[in-house]
Structure 1
Amino acid sequence: MTQIVKAPLFEQLIAHAQSDPASFHVPGHRYGGAFQTGAEQQGRIEALARQWFMPLMRLDATELSATDDLHHPESAIKEAEQLAARLYGADHTYFLVGGSTAGNIAMLLAVCDPGDTVIVQRNVHKSVLNGLKLVGASAVFVMPEIDETTGIPTIPTVRRIEEALMRYPQTKAVLLSNPNYYGMGVVLDDYAEAVHRFGIPLLVDEAHGAHYGFHPELPRSSLRAGADGVVQSAHKTLHALTMGAWLHMQGDRIDRGRLTEALAMIQSSSPSFPIMASLDISRAIVEEKGEALFHASIQSSKRFRSELGNCCSSLATVDTLSGDASHYADPLRVLLTDRSGAWSGYRLQQELEIRGCWAEMADPRHVLLLFGLQTGERDVEFLLAACREIDVLIKSDAESEIYQSVRANPTAMGCQTSEGRSSGDAVQMGSEPVSQPVSFARSHSRASEAVPVEAAAGRIAAEMLVPYPPGIPLVYAGEQLTEAMTKYIVRLAEQGAKFQGASDPRMTTVRCYV
């Protein structure tokens, strides 16, 4: 007999909505009842909101005896988290309504005290740096490996992690980001074994891997490799709403009491029930459909890679698989590039958007395409049609003197060939393989000033510079700017990269300590 797959939180919210509850509590929209005025009394925005928002509002509840409490789950949320843990092979899974950001910060708060040291790869997401700031901890930065084909940074070698552990035995944890934004990762079994020999936990930001392990052609999750804490953004590749994520735990190297306390501090006391329900839905659908859920998307990505070469001579996809059995590449992520290097990834992204194709992100050399759930033949045809038009534009550019000069010297416009490793420049600029501890204790007393980027080499940065996406810091506050760094920043800004949170959005200046 086929077992019925349940989504306890989602089903409980439906049952509550169907009971036609009289709301005398928050939220103020009263399950969408605020839009129940007559059509003749509705303004334009109210009518649009009723059409688009009202169905979701029926599930937008608060902490009631009928709905449960995220910060003290006893019924539907508790069961939903247990089912997620069972599916992923974790001892405990926590629902996150603040994305993987909340999970990364919570893990650091759970394992560190002010002044403690954590080993971190340099190319981590900014949420890890923010977590270190909140703790007041120090980071030992370890340089990642650079993929030889693409120049894209992945994660440090296990030997380099062991070197850092031996140099800094007081370390409280190792935190790695695996896979990177491009879906390139490393099997972590040896890392877990090495870290555990020192009696500390391995924490993994696996934000882009919520779908891992559910299809033969998908990578295996870091949980299966023995990581102690793993964060996954279910909204990136599954059915969850944006900000829906999971924090999976296993073993006893992380204090669960401290972790629960940390999550209560950094997550809202009024968490979104639609987001939590979408996590429950995501888990239930994966459990019910298994590998069949990902078949169409994997086949579509294969078809696009195969057919692009038949219809476009200027555009190409980049193979991100190194050939090393310990490395993997997510088949749902496709890197698109101009073969000559004359067009930057940002230019390609703009041209795709003009034609209605919105990519995940771009860098100086590539456009990253994510083939989400049920991406099918129609989607591939639409994308190929856009690529054919762009291919014609690139060929017309080939007749121009500018194009020929860039093709002869691709570094002149920052559009390096793969051998130039343009994507890896940001993490190669004079950094040591294993750094000394860098304190993230917060200080508001030091004065700073705006300095033209071109003149900032040798100065100490007073702000973190983060191109977004992917959200990987190029420069940390307190780090000395080098000439290579400033040139790279100028190049990115000229090509249209956006720097999230920068004091000067145009990146003509950077704040430096006086």
Structure 2
Amino acid sequence: MKLSQNIAPILDALDKYKKNRVVPFDVPGHKQGKGNLMLRDFLGERCLSVDVNSMKPLDNLCHPVSVIKDAEDLAAEAFGCDNAFFMVNGTTCSVQAMIMSVCKDGDKIIMPRNVHRSAINAVILTGAIPVYVSPGINSELGIPLGMSMRDLEQAILTNPEAKAVFVNNPTYYGICSDLKGIIELAHKHNMLVLADEAHGTHFYFGEGMPAAAMHLGADMSAVSVHKTGGSLTQSSLLLVNAKRVNPGHVRTTINLTQTTSGSYLLLASLDIARKNLAINGKDIFAKVLELSEYARQEVNSIGGYYAFSEELVNGDTVFAFDRTKLSMHTLSIGLAGIEVYDILRDEYSIQIEFGDIGNILAIISVGDTYFAIERLVASLTEIKRLRSKNRSGMFDHEYISPVVKHSPKAAFYAPKKRVAIADSKHEVSGEFVMCYPPGIPILAPGEMITEEAIEYIQYSKQKGCLLTGAEDMEMQFINVLDL
């Protein structure tokens, strides 16, 4: 019997469980909140009453045969693909499962260098060899763009044995590559296409959006439903088209790293979000787009800031632009993006998604209002009036071209020594260094440390970026290969 998008199987099963007044002699130990009153007071009795363990009426995430299977089938239908897997370890786990299910030790995978660290982590775990395609660069904004079709084709011809092409759709900044062209080119050369759509849930439901990977025939996609789709933080989907991929193998690969204690709060949130998107997604994202376009117009009217959009489209490295992204360049007012980020939070009680060296990103969702947009615009106006300065001496680009000396796996497990970052020029990094968010590595294991990378790290620290990835929490030292 065909299921209806108007139902939410996991939610219905949890409601039934609660109505049955089940006496729990299983985990979790808080026993529906009775064993931890402080937690119950904080999260609420209703929440804790359905924070439960797998059982027959509620199915099992590792081997779904009933309500979770139904919810996943509904998600696959809603997103327009063959299979959807509910993920509770975040889209990090989704990205890693994609790569781990198609690559083994020594296999090559073609990817842009401006991938999230989760993709390079997967390369370390599998022993795969990344073939990096340097993204295009916008010289005015200093941001990485998408992959050029010419560069990708050259990478494919040079590495015909590669198993897959990995692509961002979109990037953090809203940039989309020629996804249709990439898929056709990769499939022509018997390579799979894996899409990181962490910021692309809305592509599947909104009108006037860039194309969604599954709709164009990509083989797998990792989708952060919690980012723009309305589910709880850490919940995600791994989408599969089964023509070239075995979904059963994908599930067994997921189970290598995903928890066996899947949170029913996260699962139910995915189920509810899917229902809401399937029924209301078109209207939801029409409103989001309207708010975003209004915000972009208002920010650009301030002067000094540049909220960029589809004018960047060039048919290649910027094939499309996600207009729901309110990405804003800040260097013309003499402030780094991270400085504006900090001022907004500390002085105006406005929390945006991230600030990097030259840009900030505000996520606009259906939960926003025109009043909230006006408050953001007014705050940015005042920051410009009170804090703007000459931009001379500012670091003006985000992307550092890597010099790869060893595979990420070889470097991660190699003997290492600790050196001061200031003295590490021409050494080979044995660990990650990145600003978070967005979590795109400045250095990854196996890459030579250049003077430009050192300057970028020091400048980022000076401006207040959160630098992560290295063992040294103070980021004074870095582990380099001791070969």
TM-score normalised by length of structure 1: 0.88
Cα offset, 1:511, TM superposition: 1.9
- Hey, what does 1:65 align to over in structure 2? 56
> Where in structure 2 are the equivalents of 1:84-123 lying within 5 Å?
84-123=75-114
Cα offset, 1:237, TM superposition: 0.6
**CA–CA distance in structure 2, aligned partners of residues 376 and 8 of structure 1:** 31
Q: Deviations over 1:252-276 (max 9, x none)?
A: 3223332111111100011111101
CA contact (8 A) 1:119 1:171 kept: yes
Cα offset, 1:505, TM superposition: 3.1
> Where in structure 2 are the equivalents of 1:21-420 lying within 5 Å?
21-35=22-36, 46-47=37-38, 49-310=40-301, 312-319=302-309, 321-325=311-315, 327-338=319-330, 340-353=332-345, 354-394=347-387, 397=388, 403=389, 406-407=390-391, 410=392, 412-414=393-395, 416=396
Q: Which runs of no fewer than 5 residues in structure 1 stay unpaired?
A: 36-45, 398-402, 417-421
**CA–CA distance in structure 1, aligned partners of residues 162 and 428 of structure 2:** 26
Farther off after superposition, 437-446 or 223-232 = 437-446
CA contact (8 A) 2:412 2:445 kept: no
- Hey, what does 1:448 align to over in structure 2? 417
> Where in structure 2 are the equivalents of 1:441-480 lying within 5 Å?
441=410, 444=413, 446-449=415-418, 451-480=419-448
- Hey, what does 1:41 align to over in structure 2? none
Cα offset, 1:48, TM superposition: 6.3
Cα offset, 1:130, TM superposition: 1.0
CA contact (8 A) 1:177 1:204 kept: yes
CA contact (8 A) 1:32 1:55 kept: no
CA contact (8 A) 2:308 2:327 kept: yes
CA contact (8 A) 1:490 1:507 kept: no
SS of equivalent residue, structure 1 residue 510: strand
Farther off after superposition, 134-143 or 52-61 = 52-61
Q: Deviations over 1:383-418 (max 9, x none)?
A: 123223213213xx5xxxxx3xx34xx2x132x3xx
Cα offset, 1:47, TM superposition: 4.3
Cα gap change, 1:253 to 1:275, in 2 (>3 Å): same
Farther off after superposition, 461-470 or 313-322 = 313-322
SS of equivalent residue, structure 2 residue 326: strand
Q: How many residue pairs are counted as aligned between the two chains?
A: 476
Amino acid at match of 2:146: I
Q: Percent identity?
A: 29
Cα gap change, 1:23 to 1:393, in 2 (>3 Å): same
Amino acid at match of 1:167: T
Matched, 1:498 2:445: no
**CA–CA distance in structure 2, aligned partners of residues 123 and 323 of structure 1:** 19
Cα offset, 1:445, TM superposition: 5.0
Amino acid at match of 1:118: I
Cα offset, 1:423, TM superposition: 2.1
Cα offset, 1:51, TM superposition: 4.2
**CA–CA distance in structure 2, aligned partners of residues 378 and 333 of structure 1:** 18
SS of equivalent residue, structure 1 residue 235: helix
Cα offset, 1:340, TM superposition: 2.4
CA contact (8 A) 1:138 1:437 kept: no
Q: Deviations over 1:107-162 (max 9, x none)?
A: 12211221222112111111111111111221111111123542211222122222
Cα offset, 1:289, TM superposition: 1.0
Amino acid at match of 2:428: I
Q: Which runs of no fewer than 5 residues in structure 2 stay unpaired?
A: none
**Following TM superposition, where does structure 1 have runs of at least 4 consecutive aligned residues deviating by more than 4 angstroms?**
none
Amino acid at match of 1:170: E
Amino acid at match of 2:338: Y
Amino acid at match of 1:226: G
Amino acid at match of 1:481: I
Cα offset, 1:467, TM superposition: 1.3
CA contact (8 A) 1:294 1:373 kept: yes
**CA–CA distance in structure 2, aligned partners of residues 115 and 51 of structure 1:** 49
CA contact (8 A) 2:411 2:429 kept: no
CA contact (8 A) 1:207 1:232 kept: yes
TM-score normalised by length of structure 2: 0.93
SS of equivalent residue, structure 1 residue 503: coil
**CA–CA distance in structure 2, aligned partners of residues 438 and 50 of structure 1:** 49
Larger Rg: 1
SS of equivalent residue, structure 1 residue 95: strand
Cα gap change, 1:257 to 1:308, in 2 (>3 Å): closer
**CA–CA distance in structure 2, aligned partners of residues 341 and 387 of structure 1:** 11
CA contact (8 A) 2:408 2:444 kept: no
CA contact (8 A) 1:140 1:438 kept: no
Cα gap change, 1:336 to 1:445, in 2 (>3 Å): closer
**CA–CA distance in structure 2, aligned partners of residues 172 and 4 of structure 1:** 35
Cα offset, 1:85, TM superposition: 0.4
Q: Deviations over 1:482-514 (max 9, x none)?
A: 112111211111111112232233333222223
SS of equivalent residue, structure 2 residue 296: helix
Cα offset, 1:241, TM superposition: 0.6
**CA–CA distance in structure 2, aligned partners of residues 268 and 377 of structure 1:** 40
SS of equivalent residue, structure 1 residue 141: strand
